[in-house]
Amino acid sequence: MRLVVVGNGMAGSRLVSEVRARDPHVRITVFGAESCRPYNRVLLSDVLAGGSRPDQVRLLDASWYAAHDVEAVFGDAVAHLDRETRHVVTASGRREPYDLLVLATGSDAVVPPIPGVDRAVPFRTLDDCARILDAAGRAGRAVVVGGGLLGVEAARGLAGRGLPVTLLHLAGHLMERQLDVEAGEVLGETLAGLGVEIRTGVSAEEVLEDGVRLAGGELVEGGLVVLACGVRPVTGLAAEAGLEVRRGVVVDDELRTDDPSIFAIGECAEHDGTVYGLVAPAWEQAAVAADVITGGKALYRGSRLVTRLKARSVELAAMGETHLTEEHAEVVRFSHRARGTYRKLVIRDGRLVGAILLGESDAVGTLTQLFDRGGPVPGDRAGLLFPGLSAAPVADSPTLMPDAATVCRCNDVTKGQIRACWEAGARDLAGVAAATRATTGCGTCRDAVEGIVGWLCEQEGSPV
């Protein structure tokens, strides 16, 4: 069977490795528009902040493709799908036949149609990161346009390098998709304390050589302007080929499009009316599609989203329906703005359907497990927000955490799987990561995995 994968980013590269792990005989060709091998886009904010080098965010070594009999074509984007003859045609004119095709084309950065926007740098790719860092070395001040997840991470990363930053956001508060008003305000106050000036409710009208002009004429000065205005699914290939496209390429529970020989996964795919913009759903979809492609019976039923902010000195997790009010659900809330702390639980029919945890908290693991499983919420609501005040055991302690508890959400790795690979000989974080892929997504589970490995070593009496 000839499998062609269009897109070699986080979704496409994961699909290739999942298929090869299941079947050594499928002939695989993967096309990537970027000239470099795949990298972890989630960790670009770490590169911007100086916490990781570009070579540390690569996903697959160059030698992996040859060792696993996969043909990888870099820097030659697929330009046309010929469904009648089952070929893809690349920008260079190469025609590649397929029996099954997977679209993993991802998303493009949204670039607002305003004068001078070509002077700004989008924050989307590794090349964008390099351009931003190069310009940051010459700029006396930076402006970030867009106060969603990426914009906040970009602004914090640049501020952490000592560059004064102004963050502009059209909505009334930061990260309005994930956070309610008060949480967005507390986040803004936290960032202000870290050197980021926050301007909400403002519209960028023009990018100038020395900054951004707002509606009304005010100039926000900055020698570097970074765009973080959201992303848009790349669906042009699918639409041109006559596949059903709404916001994304429409797929069913097997991740097939309306052409049964073509699948779509990741940020370009729309399942049950939803387009997911996080890595965990893309990797879940890759696993399901790989099962189906290799003869399995797996189905994708959607993903439960947990957003984690990756910004130094800012702890934030948001999950589920965070905007529900007391009229529609039970809401438990605690706010201590002077400490940058905001915690909110949204409970409906005795189940946790949403939560916001801003500021350092030992409740993240417990609440994430409750949200993932959809199990009943304990009667002690305050104990959920403040585990240290409750007489109940803390579920995310390595000693008491059940083996079924999910530790790495991006890769769906449980404590039991970490224990199993430790017992098989992986006695450090690198070994566990290689065996289970834990910590290789957004990286926020690193401390938890290290804690479990350390605890297991202590039980045995071996060095950590």
Q: Is the C-alpha dihedral spanning 341, 369, 266, 66 positive or negative?
A: positive
- Every domain of the chain and the residues it spans: 2-107+232-293, 117-229, 315-394, 397-464
For 220, the token pair is 């926000």
Check whether 126 has a pLDDT greater than 70.
Answer: yes
pLDDT recorded at residue 395: 44
pLDDT at 390 over 60: no
- Parallel, antiparallel, or unpaired for β 413-414 and 406-408? antiparallel
Residue 393: what pLDDT? 41
Given a cut of 70, whether residue 211 has pLDDT beyond it is yes
Q: Say how far apart CA 111 and CA 120 lie, in whole Å.
A: 9
Query: SS3 for 293?
Result: helix
**Above 90 in pLDDT, residue 318?**
yes
Domain 315-394: CATH superfamily, name plus number:
FAD/NAD-linked reductase, C-terminal dimerisation domain (3.30.390.30)
Contact 164, 141 (CB under 8 A): yes
Residue 397 pLDDT: 59
Percent of the chain with pLDDT over 90: 68
Q: How far apart are CA 427 and CA 347, in angstroms?
A: 39
Average pLDDT, the chain: 91
Contact 305, 438 (CB under 8 A): no
d(CA 153, CA 309) in angstroms, rounded, equals: 7
> 260-282 burial by CB neighbour count: b if 16+ within 10 A, else e?
eebbbbbbbbbbeeebbbbbbbb
Q: Confirm if 413 and 375 have CB atoms less than 8 A apart.
A: no
Q: Is residue 460 packed enough to be buried (19+ CB in 10 Å), middle (13-18) or exposed (0-12)?
A: exposed
- DSSP calls for 100-123: EEEE---EEE-----TTGGGSEES
CATH of domain 397-464: 1.10.10.1100
Architecture, CATH, for domain 2-107+232-293:
3-Layer(bba) Sandwich (3.50)
pLDDT at 394 over 60: no
Q: Which residue has the higher pLDDT, 42 or 78?
A: 78
What HEC string does 424-452 produce?
Answer: CCCCCHHHHHHHHCCCCCCCCCHHHHHHH
Contact 31, 92 (CB under 8 A): no
Least confident of 39-48, 245-254, 400-409: 400-409
Cβ atoms 7, 266 nearer than 8 A: yes
In this structure, of 55-69, 252-266, 433-447, the range with the lowest mean pLDDT score is 433-447
- Token digits of residue 452: 């479990």
Assigned CATH topology for domain 117-229: FAD/NAD(P)-binding domain (3.50.50)
For the stretch 4-16, pLDDT in tens is 999 999 999 999 9
Task: Report pLDDT digits (tens) over 161-184.
Answer: 999 999 999 999 999 999 999 999
Does 401 or 95 have the greater pLDDT score? 95
> Which of 252-266, 368-382, 386-400 shows the lowest per-residue confidence on average (mean pLDDT)?
386-400
393 bridge partner residues:
none
Question: Are both 2-107+232-293 and 117-229 of the same fold?
Answer: yes
Model confidence at 334, pLDDT cuts 50, 70, 90, reads very high
